[in-house]
A and B are shown apart, each in its own frame.
Chain A
Amino acid sequence: MNNKRHILFLSVLVSVTLPFLPLLLWSFSERWFYPALLPQSFGLRGWSYIFGTVNSQILQALISSFFLAATSTLISLAVGVPAGRALGLYEFPGKRFVLLTFILPVIVPPLAVAMGLHLWFIRLGLAETFWGVVLVHLTFCLPYTIFVMRGTFSDYSPEFEDQARTLGASRLQVLSRVTIPMIMPGIVVAALFSFLLSWSQYLSTLIIGGGRMLTLPIMLFSLMGSGDRPVAAAVSLIFVIPAFIALLASAHSLGRAGLQGVR
């Protein structure tokens, strides 16, 4: 039994970590010609190209990727938490239709939506702008947030709020002392979901951003095209950082059930 357990653990460990090996090796290599198994010389050129260059485009892409994902997440939470609450707590006529409207953007890829919105956004002056890209990211970040919050609120008892109110708590106190602490795990998962979705988005950013909004995935594609492997590998590793923070945060605050279902 113990033996089987070890084999299982090792196979999971190796298959999960293997893809990170070439990224690490390439990001720290200076010279690595075929067919050498390991780089002929190690160095920090890949990393210093990102962080050392003045006005580094990659650094700017990192910053705009972060603000894009953070903004999409905050708006999704602000609009999605009340909606998720209503869908989790109440039954009402037309609920199935509302749920269908929210599930479609999760299933249908953003490709056709972004292409459709593009012309309209050009007219509205939203194309090639930060807010235009935020709006297109909302089409999938918001529904995901709503579904996570709906799940959270379906095992939530609003009686606690009544009790607090009976004890004389104001509306704001009920919200900050009762409701938010109780739904915090759901909010964390929803925020991570939505941040990662926006963070990894490539095509819809490219279509609406029109090459003006340089995000990390867009930089990564152009680096792969130019063939600078050490820099591309280093950017790939930076690109994974939020994923790892999300993982650690969820392991810390949510226990083992953590991120199940995050895509």
Chain B
Amino acid sequence: MKHSQSFRIKGKAGVPCGLLQLTAAIGPAFVIILILFGGGLSLGLMQALGHLPGASLHSVSLTHFTNVLTDPDFAGSIRLTFYVSFVSTVIAAAVSVVLALAIIRCAEESRLVHFFLQIPLTVPHLVIAVSILLLLSPSGLAARLLAAVGLLQSTSSFPMLVNDRFCIGIMLVYIWKEIPFITFMLLAVLKNLGPELLETAATLKASKMQRFRYVILPIIWPSLAGAGLIVFAFTFGAFEVPFLLGRSYPLTMPVWSYKNYSDIDLLARPEGIAIGLIISIIIIAAVIVSHLLTQYGRRRGLL
């Protein structure tokens, strides 16, 4: 700070606020997050670098990271995690666009639709994972229903939908949970849209598809991309659902990380932390890249 004047705190409508007041308001929260979150990540990094407290800094090395990155399971794990997050995000986003448009068209004022759609927002992922297990496992409710109507001869002829190769069960949980989240983000934008733009487009003989592509999509895109990114980041780092509904091999990154961390062999622990940090880095990178892409697109007039 060059001059004391250069530190200017502007309040709305000229409300005065001193530096001291500002520090007192933000300081405690900032310190807590810095110590717990920043401290947690830094201590994790130290351990992942092989540094043990009390030992000299010579012990620091990238061995644990290279062990993880060269592990034959790494590629499979990252591919699986990416696949689960990407596919669930894309499906949830696509359904949300259709659902949000349908709600705007014929149920904008329906309190009931809004109420029911809020339910999945609050229900813990774990509960839905348990429910999917009871619904779709080979002896689940769906299999019983098919057996009752005579479509299923034995449990073995029911397709594997949980703990399966394609992670159907995991993705169903995410899609069920995240559709309302994305839909509400889209509705917030669509409600302020008003009929004028679409009517103008219609007068200019724009087809339904053209109205969607050139009017609606550009308007909802920032919200859609933002919500999609949040969903992607969340599913990429989430543990419970793949732990319960995934196969034992290959594992998603978070499950693999915890498996190493909780291994009886204490030497596997730093590798578990290294995987956890790699997950965090991937998520932060995804956020930065999408931010840059959005800025680039906006500058080039693509969005």
Nearest chain A CB to B98 CB, angstrom units: 10
User: A109: CB under 8 A from chain B?
Assistant: yes
Q: Chain B: interface secondary structure? A: helix
Per-residue B-contact encoding for A176-206, CB less than 8 Å = 1, 0 else: 0000000000000000100010011011000
Kindly state whether residue A25 has any CB partner on chain B within 8 Å: yes
Report which residue of A101, A203, A239 has the largest number of chain B beta carbons within 10 angstroms of its beta carbon: A203
Give a binary string over B86-128; 1 marks a CB under 8 Å from any A CB, 0 the rest: 0000000000000100110111001111111111111111111
Which residues of B are found within 8 Å of A114, using beta-carbon distances? 40
Least Cβ–Cβ distance between B275 and chain A, in angstroms: 9
Binary contact readout A7-34 vs B (1 if CB under 8 angstroms, 0 otherwise): 0110011011111111101100000001
In the assembled complex, which residues on chain A have CB atoms less than 8 Å from the CB atom of B303? Answer: none
B276 in complex: contacting residue of A89, A107, A111, A259, CB < 8 Å: A111
CB neighbours of B258 from chain A (8 A): 111, 203, 207
Whether the Cβ atoms of A116 and B279 lie closer than 8 Å is no
A138-B32 in contact (CB<8A)? yes
For B258, give the chain A residue with the smallest CB separation.
Answer: A203
Residues of B within 8 A of A196 (CB): 122, 124
Instruction: Judge whether B145 and A37 touch: CB under 8 Å.
Output: yes
Q: Classify the secondary structure of A's interface with B.
A: helix
User: A134 CB to closest chain B CB, in angstroms?
Assistant: 11
Q: Could you tell me if A203 and B239 are in contact, using CB atoms closer than 8 angstroms?
A: yes
B163: Cβ under 8 A from any A Cβ:
no
Q: Is the beta-carbon distance between A157 and B13 smaller than 8 angstroms?
A: yes
Query: Which of B110, B112, B234, B277 is in CB contact (< 8 Å) with A112?
Result: B277
CB < 8 Å neighbour of B9 from A91, A142, A220, A221: A91
Q: Which residue from B113, B139, B185, B257 sits with its C-beta under 8 Å from A111?
A: B257
Bound: A101/B32 CA distance, A: 11
Kindly state whether residue B65 has any CB partner on chain A within 8 Å.
no
A116 touches B47 (CB 8 A): yes
Whether, in the assembled complex, A79 has its beta carbon less than 8 Å from a beta carbon of chain B, the answer is yes
Known contacts A89-B11, A98-B26; A256 and B279 CB within 8 A of each other = no
Which of B32, B103, B110, B139 touches A79 (beta carbons < 8 Å)? B32
- Smallest CB-CB separation from B173: which chain A residue? A19
* Chain B CB within 8 A of A258 CB: yes
- A119-B135 contact, Cβ under 8 Å, with A83-B25, A102-B33: no
Instruction: Report how far A86 CA is from B42 CA in the complex, Å.
Output: 28
| Contact status of A113 and B44, CB under 8 A, knowing A89-B11, A89-B15, A244-B122 | yes
B126 lies within 8 A of A23 (CB): no
Which 7 pairs across A and B sit closest by C-beta, in order of nearness? A116-B44, A109-B237, A112-B276, A200-B124, A243-B122, A113-B40, A22-B134
